[in-house]
Amino acid sequence: MRIEYTALLQEIESVISSGEELHKVLAETCNILKNKVIHYDWVGFYILNDQKSHLILGPYCGKSTEHTIIPVGKGVCGQVAENKILKIVQDVRLEGNYISCGMEVQSEIVVPILKNGDFVAEIDIDSHDTAPFTIDDQEFLSLLCRKLPVLF
């Protein structure tokens, strides 16, 4: 994993352990990621509702979106919620079940947050570049998402 990601992970770990409430920690995490990773153009969290049927948009950084509620199973975010497996889409034009958030979005990575093996939320990151996500992004975001369940 790139050294910059190691430093970011340490910075976010201190935010997680700050004792702040869930939404403040998630909002600060979004700010750090969007402002410090050049190809992260939109960063947000979707949280599973109590009925476990929909994802509700939580804190995010970037352009506003109309996708504030997503059914489990629909789109990339809904598929990750259903399957509990990280998904990278390097070119959204090639994704059949993609929910468009804007013409500038070219790629997306979505990583589940699991608590005791159960899906509770996910981080969703869009990029305006095609194919920017590497194994470093995957490893970094997976590590980050393994640290967040303590908040839920």
- The residue with greater pLDDT, 95 or 72, is 72
* Amino acid letter for position 58: G
Structurally, how many domains does the chain consist of?
A: 1
The CA distance from 119 to 69, in Å, is: 16
Statement: residue 64 has pLDDT above 80: yes
Q: Are 29 and 11 in contact (CB under 8 A)?
A: no
The CA distance from 9 to 4, in Å, is: 9
Q: pLDDT tens-digit profile of 37-56? A: 999 999 999 999 999 999 99
Mean pLDDT of 11-25: 97
The CA distance from 54 to 18, in Å, is: 29
Q: In three state form, how does the secondary structure of 132-144 look? A: CCCHHHHHHHHHH
For the chain, give the mean pLDDT: 95
Statement: residue 102 has pLDDT above 80: no
- The residue with greater pLDDT, 103 or 4, is 4
Domain residues for 44?
3-151
Q: pLDDT tens-digit profile of 106-145? A: 999 999 999 999 999 999 999 999 999 999 999 999 999 9
Q: Give the CATH number, domain containing residue 114.
A: 3.30.450.40
State the Cα torsion 116-99-102-30 to the nearest 10°. 0
The pLDDT score that the predictor gives to residue 52 is 96
